[in-house]
Homo-oligomer: A and B are copies of this chain.
């Protein structure tokens, strides 16, 4: 599968790039395909490439010395990942990137991007914007983890996911999500048992509907109330 410069316009960081620049980027990149379950890179690897996902979904996660892991973020088509390690020379990736589907991604040599950015301020600007939003999201999630109860955090995660990826059908205001209990647990710093108990409870109350690796939000507004700690 080939990629045209026009396709690259969809990448937020490249939105202001010229056609010529996009061409140059393509010439200095290769395509990499990773099949479901495989890894683009592991936490600690030297950051040789930064990626633009063209197909599939990628999970970014970080693990501690005992192997316990947390979900930092899920990457969708035309989003960048592995960019953090690429900014500094001789950096290592701070997280691992696992393919949730069969994935294809454009791999850009980080050394190339380095020199490329130096003469194109608009790109660093867009990159900084992206980074800023990362920092803000991480700070918000950190605060959440530190001060909110599990119930609120899970509700919040569902709301956030709904905003990012939810499929909203026209007729009914239901939002469909595809995540396992384990996924949600890793996103909210809890266990799959607790998530399961919570979801069951909410289902009994008619707020959501659940299935295997599937959560449908029936009353998002009620979730918002739970997230804010107003419930009970």
Bound-state CA distance A228–B66 (Å) is 9
Bound-state CA distance A63–B88 (Å) is 32
Whether A164 sits at the interface, judged by CB under 8 Å, is no
Main secondary structure of the interface of A (DSSP, over half): helix
Q: Do the beta carbons of B84 and A132 come within 8 Å of each other?
A: yes
Q: Do the beta carbons of A145 and B148 come within 8 Å of each other?
A: no
List the B residue with the shortest CB-CB distance to A84.
B132
Whether A4 sits at the interface, judged by CB under 8 Å, is no
3 closest Cβ pairs, A-B complex: A146-B189, A138-B138, A124-B124
Inter-chain pairs besides A87-B132, A127-B128, 14 sampled, C-beta below 8 Å: A63-B143, A64-B147, A66-B147, A68-B147, A69-B143, A70-B143, A117-B121, A124-B125, A128-B128, A134-B135, A138-B138, A138-B139, A142-B145, A147-B189
